[in-house]
Structure 1
Amino acid sequence: MVADKYQDYVYNLIKKVIDEIGPRPSCSEEERKLGRLLIKEWMPICDEVAVESFTCSPRAFLGFLPLSVLAYFAAVILYWFYPPASLAMAAASFSMIFFEFMRYREFIDFLFPRKKGQNVIGVIRPRGRTEQRVIVSAHQDSAYEFRLWYHLGTAAVVLIAIAVAAILVILGGSIARTIGYLGSSTESMAYMAVGIAAAGLAPIVGLFLFFNTGKPVPGAMDDMAGIAVTSGLARYLDDARRGGGFFPQSTEVVLLATSAEEAGLRGAKRYAQKHVAEMKQKPTYALFLDGVYDERFLTVTDRELCTGAKHDPSLVKLAQEVAASHGWPIRKRWIPLGGTDASAFSLKAIPAVCLHCQDTSRLVSNYHTRHDTLEHIRPQSLSVSLQMVIDMIERLDTGCAESWE
């Protein structure tokens, strides 16, 4: 397949960044170094290259965890002495989890220092008039290591469920006990049982004080591989424009390297907010690459539980059809925990989808841990991802051209 021609370039670009730049925390100088490298790679190819800066509080997305845990501890203690205060603390604890993590809202970001992030954008115009655009995107930053992920793997999900349940227990108990307290009702065994249960679960909740190691991971498959595939697409389109293979006739291709995905999708959100009117003026489709290391786990995500995003069914179907044309098995999955940049677009009613070459059915050892290194990336996964994107753009472009005939 044509993408094999670019496999070495894509693989070596990942190696170059891992060796010379290293881990790339959100809004860090290392992330900006990658951005400058991409500008250098894209400038000779793209018709337009731009950098869009924004500000956010990258530490807030995981920084809420200690605050939520401490609020839980306070709620458990106050439960026995002053239920209304316990209710306030329990509500604060749950709200931080729900809005900051489960809904990716900037709920407590004002409490944390603000930094500058930079989205890097490259535009490749079609041969003819632009009738539509396809955005191909991956994120530049790498995550901080999740201590529980590293030590426990998929079992950590069970602890998350228990911790959230514990917060709901103290929240529900505090509501009931506050009503009783204000109504001067007598104590009951049920109230005592709730307090004892909440106290008993406190050690599990307390583990999340140490969830984030504060050490960024190499970020090879998440998501330097996606970035490198995007650059591989630029190389392919440059060759095709000069006479070799498919080149879009009426579809503008936008390369988007987002900042601060690991800080709660902040870069993608800023881009979507800024360009939403422009993206709705002409048909726009967004293809995201996130987590590329093993083509045997080729996956298309159709919805994301935490963010509430439902991705475009026609793009999901298109990904399945392209995979089938090559004889590649492809899974259709929903993401129960976490989110991708595709959410920022789908929630703005911009058709979007996310492609992975990652086993999303479990927490693999190289996801958000120090093991996210180059050795875990199968080179063929890079070719498969690139070919998927090329073919999806070609089918979208062909469909657009036919509709204008």
Structure 2
Amino acid sequence: MQANESLTEYAYNMIKHLEETFGPRYSSSEAEKKANLWVKEEFSKFCDEVHQEEFETRPNAYPQGIIKITGVLAGIAFIFMPFVFPLPLFSAIFVLLGLFILITNLFLGQRWLGFLFKRGISSNVYGIIRPSGEVKYRILFEGHIDSAKQLRIGEYERLPAKRFLLGILYLVFTVVISLLKFFAQLEGTILIYLEAGPFQWTLYDWIYFLALIILYPCFIFIIWGLTGNVVVPGAADNLSGIAVTAALGKYVSQNRPKHIEIIVASMGSEEIGSRGADYFVQQHGELLQNGIAYVIDDSGAGDTFYLVEKSILYGISFDPEAMNRIETAHTHYKTEVPDAVPLKRGNVILGASDAAVYVKAGYKSGFILGILDREGARIAKPPHWHSIHDTWKNINKKMVRDNIGIALKFVELLDSEYS
């Protein structure tokens, strides 16, 4: 099994067609729905059976709604500082409440704040390609059809780490000074410079507000950088995953494995917390009990494939077997295609992909990214991540070709084990 030029062109043209025809495709939007209906028709051309399933979402909650709530709570916390006992304590309370909302809803996925946001309807499309013989193992290949809202920080080639650290320091500094002033007021040991009604200016206020001249703009920069109202085109992230999955399915339908059943899927609402993958696990987890989920996410641009071993902020480690098998497939593929795009392994700070849902549910899964491998770069980041520049014109055809080739080799190697 090897990707040929026609499969590469097929996938590349699909990316272009989907972007130009349906445009940006935010979760639960009409564009997302219509794009997935088109994918359903395309899957029907080569799959033995195709299904579309709808599910409920809260499209404006995750992640940007949660980030904005945290930003407002922590952003107004300083207001309570220059006042009499016990009001300074509310500065710490507001920051800690904001962080609690952020951690539980964003990183732990508890979604208890979803009731504040309007409901939406999204959909998954998946097709099944049966092997020529008995089914002994399954592989789910999937990408997601939706595109994200812009992360302004994604427009930076390198993360402005100093500003981020100073912005985070604002949160820590506010909690510390708030508690120090509160207990000093409680004990009556505070040095007061000015007091008028509820207003009270102390040594702690001098320290705090002078530091805020630098820290507060950096905090606002974080909230600004992690939000945006423009829905991006999402060519690499993740029409490339859909197109590679479709190209693989098209080839496998004509060159069927002996014992590996292939599931190709276009998941909805990945960008708001992998809601489509979560729904798929709830409804069809049995399909993955003796199988593996191979997630292709944002790997149509860049110059290097990146196997993610761990998402640091989400605290998720991906399945070692899945990652080793993908790496082995790349090694075998590269012996046949010497100019293949290189592959490396490592961690990411943000992001987890649909693979996180499968791993959390106890199934084997790994995912592959595309990055620009720059010397000295401390953080692996796909080019144009959640950016308005993520268009089909910035897709790297070689990445598309090798994505297909590695996935086909993955199928070939697994099928040989079960034959």
Q: 1:198: Cα distance to partner?
A: 4.5
SS of residue matched to 2:150 = strand
Map of 1:127-138 to 2, 5 A cutoff?
127-138=132-143
Partner of 2:174: 170
Change (3 A) 1:111 1:214: same
Question: Does the aligned pair in 2 maintain the 1:125–1:251 contact within 8 Å?
Answer: yes
**Counterparts of 1:44 and 1:398 in 2: how far apart (Å)?**
27
Question: Does the aligned pair in 2 maintain the 1:58–1:115 contact within 8 Å?
Answer: yes
| Greater displacement, 318-327 / 165-174 | 165-174
| Greater displacement, 97-106 / 187-196 | 187-196
**Counterparts of 1:346 and 1:121 in 2: how far apart (Å)?**
19
Change (3 A) 1:43 1:365: closer
**Counterparts of 1:22 and 1:117 in 2: how far apart (Å)?**
16
Partner of 1:148: 153
Q: 1:306: Cα distance to partner?
A: 2.3
Map of 1:226-265 to 2, 5 A cutoff?
226-240=241-255, 247-265=256-274
Question: Does the aligned pair in 2 maintain the 1:365–1:371 contact within 8 Å?
Answer: no
**Counterparts of 1:202 and 1:56 in 2: how far apart (Å)?**
34
Deviations 1:115-171 (A, max 9, x none): 011011111122222222111111101111222332x33234543333233223323
How many positions carry a matched residue from both structures? 392
Map of 1:236-385 to 2, 5 A cutoff?
236-240=251-255, 247-276=256-285, 278-279=286-287, 282-294=289-301, 296-327=303-334, 328=340, 329-359=342-372, 361-363=379-381, 366-385=384-403
SS of residue matched to 2:412 = helix
**Counterparts of 2:53 and 2:165 in 1: how far apart (Å)?**
38
**Structure 1 counterpart of 2:207, from 173, 179, 193:** 193
**Counterparts of 1:75 and 1:396 in 2: how far apart (Å)?**
55
Change (3 A) 1:298 1:387: same
Q: 1:346: Cα distance to partner?
A: 1.1
Change (3 A) 1:125 1:87: same
SS of residue matched to 2:352 = coil
Question: Does the aligned pair in 1 maintain the 2:371–2:380 contact within 8 Å?
Answer: no
Q: 1:48: Cα distance to partner?
A: 1.9
Q: 1:236: Cα distance to partner?
A: 0.4
Change (3 A) 1:101 1:156: farther
**Counterparts of 1:17 and 1:382 in 2: how far apart (Å)?**
16
Structure having the larger proportion of residues in helix: 1
SS of residue matched to 2:313 = coil
Question: Does the aligned pair in 2 maintain the 1:94–1:167 contact within 8 Å?
Answer: no
Question: Does the aligned pair in 1 maintain the 2:329–2:407 contact within 8 Å?
Answer: no
Change (3 A) 1:124 1:85: same
**Structure 1 counterpart of 2:71, from 69, 72, 90:** 69
SS of residue matched to 1:63 = helix
**Structure 2 counterpart of 1:206, from 201, 210, 220:** 220
Runs (4+) of structure 1 moved beyond 6 Å?
none
Deviations 1:313-350 (A, max 9, x none): 12211122221223343100211122211111111121
Question: Does the aligned pair in 1 maintain the 2:150–2:229 contact within 8 Å?
Answer: yes
**Counterparts of 2:220 and 2:266 in 1: how far apart (Å)?**
36
Change (3 A) 1:46 1:79: same
Partner of 2:199: none
**Counterparts of 1:292 and 1:318 in 2: how far apart (Å)?**
18
Letter in 1 for 2:249: A
**Counterparts of 2:412 and 2:368 in 1: how far apart (Å)?**
17
| Greater displacement, 107-116 / 341-350 | 107-116
**Counterparts of 2:416 and 2:55 in 1: how far apart (Å)?**
35
**Counterparts of 1:118 and 1:185 in 2: how far apart (Å)?**
61
Letter in 1 for 2:369: H
Partner of 1:221: 236
**Counterparts of 1:40 and 1:230 in 2: how far apart (Å)?**
14
**Counterparts of 2:29 and 2:122 in 1: how far apart (Å)?**
8
**Counterparts of 1:222 and 1:51 in 2: how far apart (Å)?**
21
Question: Does the aligned pair in 1 maintain the 2:297–2:369 contact within 8 Å?
Answer: yes
Deviations 1:59-115 (A, max 9, x none): 112022332222113211113321332222111221233233334442422211110
**Counterparts of 1:305 and 1:320 in 2: how far apart (Å)?**
21
**Counterparts of 1:160 and 1:270 in 2: how far apart (Å)?**
34
Structure 2 unaligned spans of 5+:
192-201, 335-339, 374-378
Q: 1:21: Cα distance to partner?
A: 1.0
Q: 1:192: Cα distance to partner?
A: 5.4
Q: Does 1:118 align with 2:123?
A: yes
TM-score between the two structures when normalised by the length of structure 2: 0.86
**Counterparts of 2:205 and 2:316 in 1: how far apart (Å)?**
38
Letter in 2 for 1:304: S
Deviations 1:346-382 (A, max 9, x none): 1112111001232374556522111111121121211
TM-score between the two structures when normalised by the length of structure 1: 0.89
**Counterparts of 2:380 and 2:159 in 1: how far apart (Å)?**
9
| Greater displacement, 358-367 / 344-353 | 358-367
Higher CA-based Rg: 2
Q: Percent identity?
A: 24
Change (3 A) 1:55 1:249: same
Change (3 A) 1:237 1:195: same
Q: 1:201: Cα distance to partner?
A: 1.5
**Structure 1 counterpart of 2:101, from 96, 103, 108:** 96
